[in-house]
Amino acid sequence: METIGICGAGLIGASWAIGFANAGFKCLVYDSNEESFDKFESVSNQLIQDLKILNPQLNIEKIKSNIVLKCSIEEICKNSILIQESIIEDLDIKKKVFKQLDKLSTKDTIIASSSSYLLISKISEDVEYRDRCINAHPALPPHVVPFVEVGGSPDTSKYIIEKALSIYKKANYAAIVINKETEGFILNRLQGALLNEAVRLHEGGFASMDDIDIALKHALGIRWAFMGPFEIMDLNAPEGIKDSFTRYKSGIQNLAKEQNSVPEYSDEYLNKLENEQRKRLPYSDRSGRIEKRNKMIALIRKLKLELGEDIQNG
């Protein structure tokens, strides 16, 4: 049985532990703050409930028996093929932890950061064996959206990237490669492009918050739930993707010329967003909505699985 070290026992750490444990890996979980484990079981149980929607035959006992809590940092470093760091998003703290992990683990152990924006070239700056350090950024919520984008610094070895990809795929993650370091990686660059435009349209008075959300959820998003932008473009004109882009390119280019302002996200604007959003969804209904979101994601994935459109590894 292969061993994964989990560094950080918060929500993201718990989610990684469940994902790996469910795929048959042994997970050793460490947190510098022992109190982090107080909520680990209740959080895990909640996450497992969402996974049961996707797979009613989920072997909960197997998952639990594969997770060992309250390990020391030495224990998670020993014999792990990969250590997944999911601690606070603070560069200095991550740098220190990476230095520790590097010293305590054998040279061929992969050390992966879950950071959503700190680049591994920075995080691994003070590390001796930088060739085995990577970014491995999950999507939210990671237990029902088992996606990970994997990228290295210029010092990371290609072999390590390939090895990490095969481990994540073995654990049933949709794993993609970031070929060159770039802020926001792939996921948040795509999301950010859309989000900035949504804000330009809303702040500029072109459409309401409700209507922009509708354009996503009742039109664009239904397709993006099972096809990416290139696949969709391929089906949008009779001759395929080149035909589509040839027809629409001047329009798309004109948009690019206009979509280049940087929204200010002023306090005044953010207060306006907060007020509008709270009118649609009172704060007290928010946790119910998060539960519904996780359930919806699990059900869409179940549908995709039944139709052969879910993650296909191997």
262-301 residues near a second copy, rule: CB under 8 A: 262-263, 265, 270-271, 273-274, 277-278, 280-281, 283, 286, 289-290, 292-293, 295-297, 299-301
In this chain, which stretch among 24-32, 76-84, 104-112, 252-260 interacts with a second copy, using CB under 8 A?
252-260
- 93 versus 290: smaller Cβ distance to a second copy: 290
- 55 versus 228: smaller Cβ distance to a second copy: 228
Q: Does 53 bind a second copy (CB under 8 A)?
A: no
3-state secondary structure the chain: CCEEEEECCCHHHHHHHHHHHHCCCEEEEECCCHHHHHHHHHHHHHHHHHHHHHCCCCCHHHHHHCEECCCCHHHHHCCEEEEEECCCCCHHHHHHHHHHHHHHCCCCCEEEECCCCCCHHHHCCCCCCHHHEEEEEECCCCCCCCEEEEEECCCCCHHHHHHHHHHHHHCCCEEEEECCCCCCCCHHHHHHHHHHHHHHHHHCCCCCHHHHHHHHHHHHHHHHCCCCHHHHHHCCCCCCHHHHHHHHHHHHHHHHHHCCCCCCCCHHHHHHHHHHHHHHCCHHHHHHHHHHHHHHHHHHHHHHHHCCCCCCCC
In this chain, which stretch among 28-36, 120-128, 156-164, 234-242 interacts with a second copy, using CB under 8 A?
234-242
Encoded tokens for 273: 């967003």
Question: Is the Cβ–Cβ distance between 183 and 117 less than 8 Å?
Answer: yes
- 100 versus 188: smaller Cβ distance to a second copy: 188
Longest pairwise C-alpha distance within the chain: 60
- 62 versus 280: smaller Cβ distance to a second copy: 280
**Nearest-approach distance from CB 169 to a second copy, in angstroms:** 11
**Nearest-approach distance from CB 139 to a second copy, in angstroms:** 4
Closest listed residue to residue 188, CA positions, set 248, 135, 111:
135
**Nearest-approach distance from CB 91 to a second copy, in angstroms:** 13
Please, which of residues 149-178 interact with a second copy by CB under 8 A? 149, 174, 176-178
In this chain, which stretch among 20-28, 54-62, 68-76, 304-312 interacts with a second copy, using CB under 8 A?
304-312
Q: Does 52 bind a second copy (CB under 8 A)?
A: no
**Nearest-approach distance from CB 69 to a second copy, in angstroms:** 24
Closest listed residue to residue 95, CA positions, set 67, 65, 126:
126
In this chain, which stretch among 73-81, 97-105, 106-114, 251-259 interacts with a second copy, using CB under 8 A?
251-259
**Nearest-approach distance from CB 176 to a second copy, in angstroms:** 4
- 60 versus 209: smaller Cβ distance to a second copy: 209
**Nearest-approach distance from CB 109 to a second copy, in angstroms:** 25
Q: How far from each other are the two terminal CA atoms of the chain, in whole angstroms? A: 19
Count interface residues toward a second copy (CB under 8 A). Answer: 108
Closest listed residue to residue 18, CA positions, set 54, 119, 32, 33:
54
Q: Does 214 bind a second copy (CB under 8 A)?
A: yes
**Nearest-approach distance from CB 73 to a second copy, in angstroms:** 28
* Window 175-204: contact mask with a second copy (x via CB under 8 A): -xxxxx-xxx-xxxxxxxxxxxxx--xx-x
- Contacting residue, 45, 62, 246, 305, with a second copy by CB under 8 A: 246
Q: Does 209 bind a second copy (CB under 8 A)?
A: yes
